[in-house]
C-alpha cells in the first residue's frame, strides 16, 4: 500500500498564489494530497480552493477556520486532521512559492530513509536565500543562532517552515500544549521533537521570496519568538515541556 502523504498549506489572502501552488504540487505526480487551512480569507482564497476541489475531490481538501489565530494554530488544526485521516507523512509548506514544490520529494525521501523529521534548510550550507532584503536575511539567520544558543537545538534553520514529519512525531507531541502561534511555532515544534529524541535532518534548499501577495511578518511575531524561546527552554529544564 503506498504511503499517504499530505501537504498542509495555511492561507490568509493568498488568492494570487493558491491555484498555482496547488497545481505545482499535483503536477509532481508523486501522490501528494493537499490540505489548505484557510483563516476565512476575505479575498476569496477559500472559494478558489473549493472550485478546484470539484475537479480533484480526492486530492484537495479544505478546512476553513472562522478566526485568524496565527500560523501555529492553523498548522495544529491541519496536523490533527492529518492524524485523524491516517496520513503517514505530513508536510508544512508556504503558499507563496518561497518553498520549491519539487523539494517535497527530497524531504519525503529523507523521512522514508530513516529521518523522523526533515527540514528544508536555508542555512545548513551557507545562506541560500534569494530576493530577501539584507535586514530580513540577517534577522532570520541570527534568529536561528539565538535559538541554538538558548536551547542547544542542533539545527541551522530552526525557523524554517518547510518540513516533513512522520506521523509518529506528531502523535508523540502534545499538540494541544504547543504555545507559540507565530513563527515561534516552527521553533517549538523542532525543539519538542528534539527533546523527544526524534531523528531530525536538514535538507539544503534555496528559499526564494514571494513575488505575489504580502508577508505576514510583524513585530509581535518577532517578540513572541524571542521571549517564547526562553520560556520554552525553562519549561524543558523543569520537565514541563
**pLDDT tens per residue across span 30-45:** 999 999 999 999 999 9
State the pLDDT at residue 227: 85
State the pLDDT at residue 24: 98
Q: What is the arithmetic mean of pLDDT over 114-136?
A: 92
DSSP states along 162-184: -EEEEHHHHHHS-GGG----STH
State the pLDDT at residue 139: 87
Q: What is the arithmetic mean of pLDDT over 164-192?
A: 94
State the pLDDT at residue 56: 97
pLDDT of residue 216 exceeding 60, the answer is no
Contact 53, 61 (CB under 8 A): yes
Secondary structure (3-state) at 6: strand
State the pLDDT at residue 18: 97
Q: What is the arithmetic mean of pLDDT over 168-190?
A: 93
**Rounded to whole angstroms, how far apart are CA atoms 239 and 237?**
5
- Break the chain into its structural domains and give their ranges: 5-237
> Range with the lowest mean pLDDT among 72-76, 77-81, 169-173, 212-216?
212-216
Q: What is the arithmetic mean of pLDDT over 81-86?
A: 98
In Å, what is the CA distance from 35 to each residue of 5, 9, 126? 10, 6, 32
pLDDT of residue 220 exceeding 70, the answer is no
Q: What is the arithmetic mean of pLDDT over 153-181?
A: 95
Q: How many CB atoms lie within 10 A of CB 188?
A: 22
Question: How confident is residue 226, by pLDDT bands cut at 50, 70 and 90?
Answer: confident
- Fold of the CATH domain 5-237: Spore Coat Polysaccharide Biosynthesis Protein SpsA; Chain A (3.90.550)
Question: How many Cα atoms are found within 13 Å in the side-chain-facing hemisphere of 53?
Answer: 13
**pTM for the full predicted model:** 0.93
Q: What percentage of the chain has pLDDT greater than the value 90?
A: 74
Amino acid at each position: 500500500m503506498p504511503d499517504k502523504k499530505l501537504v498542509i498549506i495555511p492561507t490568509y489572502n493568498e488568492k494570487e498564489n493558491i491555484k498555482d501552488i496547488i497545481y505545482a504540487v499535483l503536477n509532481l505526480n508523486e501522490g501528494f494530497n493537499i490540505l489548505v487551512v484557510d483563516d476565512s480569507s476575505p479575498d476569496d482564497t477559500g472559494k478558489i480552493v473549493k472550485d478546484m476541489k470539484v475537479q480533484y475531490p480526492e486530492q484537495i481538501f479544505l478546512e476553513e477556520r472562522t478566526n485568524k489565530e496565527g500560523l501555529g494554530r492553523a498548522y495544529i488544526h491541519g496536523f490533527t486532521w492529518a492524524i485523524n485521516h491516517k496520513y503517514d507523512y505530513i508536510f508544512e509548506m508556504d503558499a507563496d512559492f518561497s518553498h520549491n514544490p519539487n523539494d517535497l520529494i527530497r524531504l519525503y525521501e529523507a523521512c522514508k530513509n530513516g529521518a523522523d523529521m526533515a527540514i528544508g534548510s536555508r542555512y545548513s550550507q551557507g545562506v541560500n536565500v534569494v530576493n530577501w532584503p539584507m535586514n530580513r536575511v540577517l534577522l532570520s539567520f541570527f534568529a536561528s543562532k539565538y535559538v541554538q544558543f538558548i536551547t542547544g537545538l542542533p539545527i541551522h534553520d530552526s525557523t524554517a517552515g518547510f518540513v516533513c514529519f512522520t506521523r509518529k512525531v506528531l502523535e508523540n507531541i502534545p499538540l494541544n500544549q504547543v504555545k507559540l502561534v507565530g513563527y515561534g511555532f516552527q521553533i517549538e515544534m523542532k525543539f519538542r521533537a528534539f527533546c523527544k529524541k526524534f531523528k531530525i535532518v536538514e535538507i539544503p534548499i534555496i528559499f526564494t521570496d514571494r513575488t505575489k501577495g504580502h508577508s505576514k511578518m510583524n513585530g509581535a511575531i518577532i517578540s513572541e519568538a524571542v521571549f517564547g524561546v526562553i520560556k520554552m527552554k525553562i519549561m524543558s529544564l523543569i520537565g514541563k515541556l
